[in-house]
A = this chain, B = another copy of it.
Amino acid sequence: MEPNQDTVFNFSAGPAVLPKPVMLKAQQEFVNWHDLGSSVMEISHRSKPFIQVAKEAEQDLRDLLNIPDNYKVLFCQGGARAQFAAVPLNLLGESTKATYIDGGYWAMSAVKEAQKYCEIDLFDAKTEIDGKMAVKPASAWSIADDSAYVHFCPNETIDGIEINDLPVTDKPIVADMSSNILSKVIDVSKYGVIYAGAQKNIGPAGICIAIVRDDLLDLANDVLPSVLNYKILAEGESMFNTPPTFAWYLSGQVFKWLKDQGGVKAMEAVNRQKADLLYSAIDGSDFYRNNIHPANRSRMNIPFQLAKPELDATFLELAEAKGLTSLKGHRVVGGMRASIYNAMPLEGVQALVDFMREFEAQYA
């Protein structure tokens, strides 16, 4: 079966679904943007029309996250993995140590890169409560006195773990928010650096946003490539090198869509509703299972397993036929995973839950 585009709900963990109205508008103006006779991707990043796109995107993001004036908003390349190197090389200064909180795969990926540049004070925050995976409360995290900063990843896409509290520290807090930025209200003023690859909650792959407190701009190591240097990017208004203009434009369109939806607070309410709906369906059945303690269940990435794993392939095949795509779990944990970022509508989760009930009725 070839799914019809109107009925497909795409649960990809990333690159992920983008808001349909944004995609339709971008399609409509794809070859002739603003009646220029050119695509937005065919004009100079230094032209007035593109500068306008860039500035509006930044301002809309500032409005959405209520970003204080003493923070720079940088549009970078290289994704979050480039930031895994950029963070220590920008922030260590004279220091030789940083604290990393281990909450899962992505937190440890950041460690693997950072340990090339400094000593890692690693705190394993993972624990088990009532046989479920959980994260120790941030008040219990140990942080070395001589750390330059504290890094954590508040949403782990593979296990489906979300951390809802913040390190208790006077060090700069650095957060990899690639998978949950803009999904709920946060207090940016509590952070030193927030970074996020776009391809989950922002826009297409190929652009990464860094929100950097301006007192942290003067610490860069000499060996840091200029394209990853926060100060150089800030001084060049993220145009030190040619930025990924189409990805910047499309991210800006997503920001406008988010404002139209009522902003981050409104998205948080819908995201809560979506996650509650799916977790309730899982918890209300012996046929489905999620292994994360309720306190740390991600609202963005919801893995679930069947009581009969031998039915996984059938589940995925029938789901696909219903237009419920990309539900296969990460190879590390198997089973299923529904990624339900901002752009996934409530109806998509409802359709998934309906399908899960039908499937259970037939195969349990």
Contacts and interface: CB of A to CB of B under 8 A. Distances in A.
Interface of A: 2-8, 10, 12-18, 20, 23-24, 26-27, 30-32, 35-39, 41-45, 47, 77-82, 84-86, 89, 113, 116-117, 197, 199, 204-207, 222-223, 225-228, 240-247, 323, 325-326
Given A47-B326, A223-B223, A246 B205 contact: yes
B204 A244 contact: yes
Given A12-B42, A241-B82, A244-B247, A37 B3 contact: yes
B41 A18 contact: yes
Number of copies: 2
B14 A38 contact: no
A353 to B, nearest CB: 19
Given A15-B44, A36-B325, A79-B77, A225 B10 contact: no
A158 to B, nearest CB: 13
Given A116-B222, A206-B207, A247-B244, A325 B37 contact: yes
Shortest 5 CB-CB distances between A and B: which pairs? A206-B244, A8-B37, A85-B225, A81-B241, A5-B32
State the main secondary structure of chain A at its contact with B.
loop
B26 A38 contact: no
A82 B224 CA distance: 11
A197 B244 CA distance: 11
Nearest to A89: B225
Contacts of A226: 81, 84-85, 113
A79 B204 CA distance: 17
A31 B38 contact: no
A41 B249 CA distance: 14
B81 A37 contact: no
B85 A241 contact: no
A27 B30 contact: yes
B41 A205 contact: yes
B44 A246 contact: no
Given A326-B43, A326-B47, A205 B243 contact: yes
B39 A227 contact: no
Contacts of A241: 78-82
Contacts of A27: 27, 30-31
B79 A38 contact: no
Contacts of A16: 42
Contact of A199 (B8, B30, B113, B242): B242
20 contacts: A3-B35, A5-B32, A5-B37, A10-B37, A10-B38, A12-B38, A12-B44, A17-B38, A17-B42, A24-B31, A30-B30, A41-B205, A77-B79, A80-B241, A82-B225, A82-B227, A84-B225, A86-B225, A204-B246, A206-B245
